């Protein structure tokens, strides 16, 4: 009896995760330890553009809380999304993070909270460090092709990045 309950409970758990898991994109981002030279925590922007290069959603913006002077140095993010609206920037900005591992999710919704149409998108990760370098990495995502996983090799300013699309209908 106890065994049976466990089976039911486990299968219920499986069933609910299969049914209820909302589709999402997960970016596993690592900011590497950098010991050479002066170290300042990097500015980081993670965002999604559509196939035409239009910004869809900024997922993360980690910047110093010292005004907006350096925002323009997150070059592509600033050009595509940041410069449009300063109150939007104030709303999404948070403090810079130390070296470490971070998980960033995208619920496949745009800035207005509307689910995006199925199609091709690109997720961008731009990391800029004062007295350090800048790296811009990207991954194309096809929302019509079901779940997938990709790994982006490490750069100077980013560790290995895992990107997973999950919960997509087949």
Partner 1 sequence: MKLRLVALLGTLCVSPLASSHDRWILPSHFNVSAESQETVWITSDVSASNQVFMMDKPVTASDVRISLPSGDSISPSSSYTGGRKSVFDVQLTQDGTYKFEKEVTPRYFSRYKVKGKEGFVRSRLDKKATAAIMPKDAYELEGSLNVSRVETYVTRNKPTDKVLAAKGEFLELVPVTHPVDIVENEPATLQFVYDGKPVAGVSVAIIKDDSVYRNKPEEMELTSDKDGKVAMTLPTAGRYLLHASIERPSSDKILADKTVSEIFLTFEAGLE
Phi, psi at 120, each rounded to 5°:
-105, 135
CB atoms within 10 A of CB 29: 25
If you ran DSSP here, which 8-state letter would residue 67 be given? -
Residue 142 contacts partner 1 per CB under 8 A: no
What does the DSSP 8-state code read for residue 92? H
Provide the minimum distance between the beta carbon of 128 and partner 1 in the complex, in angstroms, as a whole number.
10
Quick one: which of 76, 123, 129, 163 contacts partner 1 (CB under 8 A)?
76
Which residues, 6 or more positions from 93, have their beta carbon under 8 angstroms from its beta carbon? 61, 62, 63, 65
Residue span 27-66 as binding mask against partner 1, x where in contact by CB under 8 A, dash where not: ----------------------------------------
Q: Work out how close the CB of 65 gets to partner 1 at its nearest, in angstroms, rounded to a whole number.
A: 11
Please, what is the minimum distance in Å from the beta carbon of residue 22 to partner 1? 33
Tokens standing for 75? Answer: 């070059």
Token pair in block for residue 22: 């909302």
Choosing from 62, 78, 106, 121, the residue that interacts with partner 1 (CB under 8 A) is 78
């Amino acid at each position: 009896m106890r065994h049976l309950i466990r089976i039911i409970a486990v299968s219920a758990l499986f069933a609910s995760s299969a049914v209820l898991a909302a589709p999402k994109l997960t970016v596993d981002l690592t900011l590497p330890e950098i010991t050479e030279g002066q170290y300042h925590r990097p500015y980081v922007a993670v965002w999604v553009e559509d196939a035409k290069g239009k910004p869809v959603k900024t997922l993360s913006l980690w910047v110093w809380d010292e005004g907006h002077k350096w925002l323009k140095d997150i070059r592509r993010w600033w050009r595509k999304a940041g410069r449009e609206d300063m109150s939007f920037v104030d709303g999404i900005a948070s403090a810079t993070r130390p070296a470490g591992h971070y998980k960033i999710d995208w619920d496949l919704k745009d800035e207005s909270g509307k689910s995006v149409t199925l199609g091709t998108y690109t997720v961008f990760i731009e990391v800029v460090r004062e007295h350090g370098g800048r790296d811009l990495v990207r991954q194309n995502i096809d929302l019509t092709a079901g779940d997938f996983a990709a790994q982006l090799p490490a750069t100077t300013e980013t560790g290995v990045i895992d990107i997973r699309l999950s919960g997509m209908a087949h």
